[in-house]
Amino acid sequence: MRDERGQSLSAMIAVVLLALFLMTGLVVDGGRQASCAREAEAGAAQAARAAVDAGAAARAAGLSFDVSVVQAAGRRSLAEGGLGGDVRVEAGAGRVTASASMPTVFLSVIGITRVSGRGEATATLRT
């Protein structure tokens, strides 16, 4: 009769190690996803401020501002931060949606290669 305790223990250790690896992946890569969301939110706020600031001189002079200039300033700010997104101008407010992504560290082993985050911000020009 053979003793098979060693083999079953090895299988249990393999399962436990895999579970620990996946939990570590969720913690590390989950933190990266939260970081992406914070980065996108901050980038959206910065781009909204830049967009509204681009129209401030015209608004201060009592003129209407050029929407394309305002949108270009917001898009430029997003691009400088390495973010994707959209800039809209509605009723004197710059509305920006930004997105960021990062490669995963651990979860790429199971096919999740990137995490992403999204942020939105609105800035209103007061005259």
User: How does pLDDT run across 57-83, given as a tens digit for each residue?
Assistant: 777 777 777 888 889 999 999 999 999
Residue 17 structure tokens? 């190690």
Predicted model pTM: 0.78
Name the burial class of residue 119, with classes exposed (0-12), middle (13-18) and buried (19+) by CB atoms within 10 angstroms of its CB.
Answer: buried
Q: Quick check: 44 pLDDT over 90? A: yes
Distance of CA 23 to CAs 29, 32, 83, 122, Å?
A: 10, 14, 29, 37
Going by DSSP bridges, is the β-strand pair 93-103/114-124 parallel, antiparallel, or unpaired?
antiparallel
Q: Quick check: 54 pLDDT over 70? A: yes
- Extents of the domains making up the chain: 5-124
Tokens 């570590």 sit on residue:
24
Alpha helices in the chain (DSSP H): 5-54, 56-60, 67-80
Contacts of 61 (CB under 8 A, 6+ apart): none
| SS3 assignment, position 115 | strand
